[in-house]
Structure 1
């Protein structure tokens, strides 16, 4: 199974677990789409915690899918779904917390940046960031929009996106990209649940309206970018032999 979804204390725990790097597959995106709808529509559900498995929060989208597209239309269809799900995650009405248990790279970093609050395990081996520029990949409107939001400053964006290097999780906290650290998996989940309760369990749930006002301008920019997207630009990228060769090399190095 590419993911696991469970409900604890009226909070949805959505866990990435497709392989050794917790890759995000199309199946995962479709499931997350349904979870967002449930959380938005069911009064009892308080929010979503995103978490990974073992040493990875998520190493990104599944490269096996990226190197096996069967023609241009499949590429376009894949990314149309991906863009809509990322957009919906960004505008989810209730709290979304990233409980970053391990490395968060590429799409793992993107979905973490969509969250309202980011808590990470305090471990010297955990690194986060975006290596796309080194792989021959750009960013889609939703991906770039979430990264601009989560990285917060123009300098953070330049350092993370244009350099393509991974940074220690402690540096991510110092830069204000992540909010706080936890010293154990148990503390990580306890803090994530407590944050959702603190945000949503107040009289009248004003968080919902406050979040909408806070994000609506940036959301409109993302929406416009998706609506005006030249999908054929993605076809060019994912039919480029050099890009596919690089992705296959990375896939082999990761053992996935």
Structure 2
């Protein structure tokens, strides 16, 4: 599901699943184990998240969603996913997304959970949040993470409601990514950002990041505990949504 290596004290996580690097719950658990390791090991400076091949990630693994048989099974999946996303969002040390290719849906959500996003400068790469077009909304943690990453409610509105897939230049223009680099510079630039931020006396980055993100993380946890958010995920059992997911998956299978 992922490949892991350490370079210059930085953990490089490479999403590697099928042709589109779709993300299963096991993928997220593997990333979570690395987050815990990075938090606990002083020798590790941070994380770079990237993808293999032409995709960063197409999003969650649709066969998992299509396979939901009961409401309880669906809720259990998302309850765990929400906590794993919070853990990634609040990793103590720098996390940089090195977006090497197409990045959509959950791929974009997890990229937005990083502290900094660098995309490969290639006009054929597409980035965006197309969930609205297949009948899905975001969960509480997912929505807060994406909104945190964008610079205004207006930008968030447009990304979510239009569901537009855009090239890296447009993504840079609206603040979806922080910078563009050529392919051969992508990982090195991501590592440079991690090192620049963490390699200072006393590592104040850790406390600054906590202060910056704590309010958002607390708000997510409070809403998950107190709001009836689970009811919305009945959608995965609705025939029209399931049919759309099956159609999208069949289109993806046809391209493989």
TM over 0.5: yes
Which residue number corresponds to residue 42 of structure 1? 41
Kept in 1, the 8 Å contact 2:51–2:101? The answer is yes
Which residue number corresponds to residue 252 of structure 1? 250
Kept in 2, the 8 Å contact 1:141–1:229? The answer is no
Which residue number corresponds to residue 112 of structure 1? 111
Which residue number corresponds to residue 233 of structure 1? 231
Secondary structure in structure 1 of the residue aligned to 2:237: coil
In the alignment, structure 1 residue 163 sits paired with structure 2 residue 167: no
Kept in 2, the 8 Å contact 1:133–1:161? The answer is yes
Q: Distance in 1 between matches of 2:103 and 2:82?
A: 19
Which residue number corresponds to residue 180 of structure 2? 181
1:149-160 mapped onto 2 (5 Å cutoff): 149-160=148-159
In the alignment, structure 1 residue 58 sits paired with structure 2 residue 31: no
**Counterpart selection for 1:211 from 186, 202, 209:** 209
TM-score of the superposition, structure 2-length normalised?
0.96
In the alignment, structure 1 residue 243 sits paired with structure 2 residue 241: yes
Q: Distance in 1 between matches of 2:160 and 2:78?
A: 20
TM-score of the superposition, structure 1-length normalised?
0.96
1:235 Cα deviation from its structure 2 partner: 4.1
Kept in 1, the 8 Å contact 2:69–2:237? The answer is no
Q: Are the structure 2 counterparts of residues 219 and 232 from structure 1 closer, same or farther at C-alpha, using a change threshold of 3 Å? A: closer
Secondary structure in structure 2 of the residue aligned to 1:37: helix
Q: Distance in 2 between matches of 1:183 and 1:239?
A: 43
Cα shift readout 1:161-193 (whole Å, capped 9, x = no counterpart): 011111111111112221111111x31000001
5+ long unaligned stretches in structure 2: none
Q: Are the structure 2 counterparts of residues 10 and 59 from structure 1 closer, same or farther at C-alpha, using a change threshold of 3 Å? A: same
5+ long unaligned stretches in structure 1: none
